[in-house]
Amino acid sequence: MTEENIKITPAKGRPMLNWVGKRPLDYVKGFPAQLVECFDPLNVNKIPQTPNYESLKDNWHNLLFHGDNKDVLATLLEKGFRGKIDLIYIDPPFKSGADYVRKVELRGVKNLNKLDNDDASILQQTMYFDIWNNDNYLQFMYERLLLLKELLSETGSIYVHLDWHVGHYVKLLMDEVFGDDNLKNEIVWCYTGPSQTSKYFVRKHDNILFYTKTDNYTFNSETVRVPYKKSTKFAGKTSFTGLTSEEKRKELDERGKLMEDWWDDVAGIGYAHGQITGFATQKPEALLERIIKASSNPDDIVLDCFIGSGTTAAVAQKLGRRWIACDLNKGAVQLTSKRLQGIIKNQISDKKDDKQLALLKENSLPKYTSFAVYKVNDYDLKILETESIELAVQHIGIQRTRTDSFFDGTFGKELVKIIDFNHPLTLLDLQLIQEELEKRPNEDRNITIVCLGKELSVDPWIEEWNKKHPINKLNVIELKTNPKYGSFLIHKPDEAKVRMERTDKTKGKVVIEDFISPTIIERLNMDNKLFKIKIPDFRSMIDTVLIDNNYNGKTFHIVYSDVPEKKDDLIKGEYEIEILENKTVVAVKIIDMLGEEVIITEEI
């Protein structure tokens, strides 16, 4: 953590929503950002180790962060981005009670048709837990909104995408933080799709709150005009007197209609073929296109700190805006990186062929063809932990409860409390359970505590407690020492066998000979208890292969990438690459279908 405190301006203050545990955010601290990957096909180069505004402003690289956005936004403030962001769009999780699950399929397995059970190829990867109780959720959003306001420029706008779950609460938060006088629109986005209920009206719209920082803001109403509907009748006085109705129609059609605040012409993602990434809450590009065109100009900086599958960055990139994105989920960061690599490659090859590449660099058209991926306050560990908890829960057979803010589920007739896997069960944990039970005098169930390990002092405490409490007895499942549960907790990393050789002075060959992801195999076998799964081709487990032909040991430069576009296509597995004449370290990064990665390096 860096030493300096970064001051945050208090919220405007009225109207004000209250919740248990509401606290202002007076100060935050930045974190070191570690450059882990970059994509720079035109070799614009000079990607800074730490992203600060001063060094980026005349040498721009788009930024993709892996980390909790609170840490990332604080880091951006520390690095000189205060007041520098022109447009913010966020689509936060909304306390829906559902876990968002991204279906991960093995590549090409359906086609090969060698697995006995089709469903076995679909691994469910929990993308993020959308399950806070109200108070925590409001505090979570409040802190992010306060930080976003600091980053927003004086002429900037912020769009917050919500729906009926928490839209009404967040609107009050926005009023408090940005001022109700800065609300410009509550946009209603209507879509259609299969209906799930006959108990009430089918819910088919989202709300997008549009606020500005001040009264002097960018808004390009002309760029987002839409055609009149065929059925529109033009009544009353118009400037078209003397024209035939056909001429009127033509004239009006050409000019188009000013966009209103309800949008029914943007289809939901289910209809956007070619865009679908498999990410459950992905939004259509057309929606972002309208927002970005209306509220920013080319070269402006667009930020989305809940990037998901990368839609905001994708559209910003296509429209010549600069972008900054963030997600705490590694899968989301990889998906975004992959999506943007594809778009940038297309932009470059669309514009010019190889010969003109030099020219292209000079004219820098298209602009901003590179991005860098930074890790902030290492999130990998935390994700592994969430994963382990999920797996433990499945192994033991715990029913998760989403509505209880303290206990995590039930196991038979007992209540379950899961202790974070980053520390052993301590007396403090037991005291918290005690306090919670005191608040629930009518609770008559026993309690199962699931933990990785426990401190010595807890056994006598529990013994004492159980003597005094025939009701609410405590029982501990310690995973580490229990052979029934222990095996999956030892995380086995991916392994790959890669052959790399020099074939000529400046040419080399990379061949992926074998690959195994123990986690994928474990998951498949867990979901299919009846038979052992055989994966016919190891390449089914591989999502992406990236190659750096001159690896410096620290930052991975994506020089070659093999990202099969279709789900059924396998990675090639064999690559001819160019290399320096001198001895060079070549690095191959293999990302599996669950987003885990392994890097193999060799000097050739």
Ligand X SMILES: C[S@@+](CC[C@H](N)C(=O)[O-])C[C@H]1O[C@@H](n2cnc3c(N)ncnc32)[C@H](O)[C@@H]1O
Site residues, ligand X (CB under 6 A): 68-69, 91, 93, 127-128, 279, 281-283, 305-306, 308-309, 311, 326-329, 332
Nearer to ligand X, 300 or 327 (CB): 327
Helix, strand, coil % over all residues of the chain, rounded to 5: 30, 25, 45
* Least distance in angstroms from the C-beta of 70 to ligand X: 6
Strand 414-418 versus strand 447-451 pairing type: parallel
Q: How far is the CB of 129 from ligand X (least distance, A)?
A: 9
CB of residue 294 to ligand X, shortest distance in Å: 17
Considering the complex, state which of residue 115 and residue 138 has its C-beta at the smaller distance from ligand X: 138
**CB 443, CB 433: distance < 8 Å:** no
Interacting residues of 405 by C-beta distance below 8 A, sequence separation 6+: 133, 136
Q: How far apart are CB 86 and ligand X at their closest, in Å?
A: 19
Q: Which residues contact 56 (CB under 8 A, 6 or more apart)?
A: 48
- Minimum CB separation of residue 282 from ligand X in Å reads 4
Closest approach of ligand X to the CB of residue 65, in Å: 8
Residues 6+ positions from 579 with CB-CB distance below 8 Å: 502, 506, 507, 508, 549, 550, 586, 604
What's the CA gap between 534 and 144, in Å, rounded?
45
CB 390 within 8 A of CB 99: no
3-class SS of residue 481: coil
Measured CA to CA, the distance from residue 530 to residue 88 in angstroms comes to: 49
- Closer residue to ligand X, CB minimum distance, 155 or 311: 311
Least distance (Å) from ligand X to the CB of residue 338?
13
Locate all alpha helices (DSSP H) within 397-457, ordered by sequence: 427-438
CA-closest candidate to residue 183, choices 161, 207, 213: 213
Of 269 and 498, CB closest to ligand X: 269
For ligand X, which is the closer residue by CB, 309 or 334?
309
Contact 373, 64 (CB under 8 A): yes
Using alpha carbons, select from 520, 526, 499 the residue that is nearest to residue 592. Answer: 520
Instruction: Rank residues 333 and 577 by Cβ distance to ligand X and give the closer one.
Output: 333
Nearest distance, CB of residue 85 and ligand X, angstroms: 16
Q: Which is nearer to ligand X, 32 or 486 (CB)?
A: 32
| Cα separations in angstroms, 364 against 53, 351, 372, 409, 604 | 20, 11, 18, 56, 34
User: With b meaning 16 or more CB within 10 Å and e meaning fewer, what string describes 321-358?
Assistant: bbbbbbbbbbbbbbbbbbbbbebbeebbeeebeeeeee
Show the DSSP H helices in 397-517 as ranges: 427-438, 458-468, 483-486
CB closer to ligand X out of 93 and 366: 93
To ligand X, the closest distance from the beta carbon of 38 in angstroms equals 20
User: Residue 549 CB, nearest distance to ligand X (Å)?
Assistant: 32
- Which tokens sit at 396? 């033991």
Nearer to ligand X, 179 or 331 (CB): 331
Task: Name the residue number minimizing CB distance to ligand X.
Answer: 308
Round to whole Å and give the CA distance between 331 and 339.
12
| Pick 40 or 304: Cβ nearer ligand X | 304
3-state secondary structure of 96: coil
Nearer to ligand X, 327 or 429 (CB): 327
- Token pair listed for 518: 């123990």
CB of 310 to ligand X, least distance (A): 6
Q: How would DSSP label each residue in 58-76?
A: TS--EEEEES-HHHHHHHH
